[in-house]
Structure 1
Amino acid sequence: MYDTANEWARGIIVRVISVQVGQAKTYPLDEQGSRDNTWRSAFDKRPVNQSTRVEVHGLVGDEQADMKHHGGPDKAVLLYAFRHYDEWKSRYAALDLQPGAFGENLTVESLDETYVCVGDVFRVGDVVLEIAQPRIPCWKISKRWREETLADAVRSSGKTGWYARVKEAGTVKAGDALERLHHPFPQFTIARLNDLLFHREPFTSALVDELAACTPLADAWKANLLRG
Structure 2
Amino acid sequence: MDREIVWLSKGTPSTLTYKGKEFKSGIAKNQVTELKVMSKGIIGDDVENHDFHGGSERVICVYAYEHYGFWEKLYQTVLPKAAFGENLTLTGMTEKDVCVGDIFQIGDAIVQVSQGRFPCSTINKYTNIHTLLNKIIERGHTGYFFRVLEEGVIYSNSSIKLLEKHSEEISISTIHHTYFHEKNNIKRIESILSLDVLSDEWMIRMKKLHKSLVEKSI
TM-score after normalising by structure 2: 0.89
The gaps in structure 1 that reach 5 residues or longer are: 5-12
**Which of these residues, 196, 201, 211, is aligned with residue 192 of structure 2?**
211
- In structure 2, relative to structure 1, the CA distance for the partners of 1:145 and 1:208 (3 Å cut) is closer
What is the alpha-carbon distance in structure 1 between the residues aligned to residue 205 and residue 184 of structure 2?
Answer: 15
**Does residue 86 of structure 2 align to residue 97 of structure 1?**
no
**Which of these residues, 106, 114, 119, is aligned with residue 124 of structure 1?**
106
What is the alpha-carbon distance in structure 1 between the residues aligned to residue 86 and residue 13 of structure 2?
Answer: 14
Q: Is the 8 A contact 1:124 1:176 kept in 2?
A: yes
* Secondary structure at 1:198 match in 2: helix
What is the alpha-carbon distance in structure 1 between the residues aligned to residue 160 and residue 60 of structure 2?
Answer: 14
* Secondary structure at 1:75 match in 2: coil
**Does residue 137 of structure 2 align to residue 148 of structure 1?**
no
* Secondary structure at 1:122 match in 2: strand
- Specify the code of the residue in structure 1 equivalent to 2:119: P
Q: Which residue of 1 aligns with 2:30?
A: 46
Q: Deviations over 1:23-57 (max 9, x none)?
A: 1012345x234xxxx432100112102x2210012
State, as a whole percentage, how many aligned pairs show the same letter.
27
The gaps in structure 2 that reach 5 residues or longer are: 210-218
Q: Is the 8 A contact 1:139 1:151 kept in 2?
A: yes
> What is the 5 A alignment of 1:175-194?
175-194=157-176
- Specify the code of the residue in structure 2 equivalent to 1:27: L
**Does residue 45 of structure 2 align to residue 62 of structure 1?**
yes
Q: Is the 8 A contact 2:124 2:133 kept in 1?
A: yes
Q: CA RMSD in A?
A: 1.6
Q: Is the 8 A contact 2:175 2:192 kept in 1?
A: no
Q: Is the 8 A contact 1:22 1:63 kept in 2?
A: yes
Q: Which residue of 1 aligns with 2:20?
A: 32
Q: CA deviation at 1:149?
A: 0.4
* Secondary structure at 1:221 match in 2: helix
Q: Is the 8 A contact 1:134 1:161 kept in 2?
A: yes
* Secondary structure at 1:84 match in 2: helix
Equivalent residues, number:
209
What is the alpha-carbon distance in structure 2 between the residues aligned to residue 48 and residue 198 of structure 1?
Answer: 34
Runs of 4+ deviating beyond 4 Å:
none
Q: Is the 8 A contact 1:52 1:173 kept in 2?
A: yes
What is the alpha-carbon distance in structure 1 between the residues aligned to residue 31 and residue 179 of structure 2?
Answer: 31
Q: Deviations over 1:37-82 (max 9, x none)?
A: x432100112102x22100122211110000000000011011111
**Does residue 201 of structure 2 align to residue 220 of structure 1?**
yes
TM-score after normalising by structure 1: 0.86
* Secondary structure at 2:176 match in 1: helix
What is the alpha-carbon distance in structure 1 between the residues aligned to residue 99 and residue 140 of structure 2?
Answer: 14
Q: CA deviation at 1:111?
A: 1.3
Q: Is the 8 A contact 1:136 1:160 kept in 2?
A: yes
Q: Deviations over 1:85-126 (max 9, x none)?
A: 1111111223x3143111110011111111100000000001
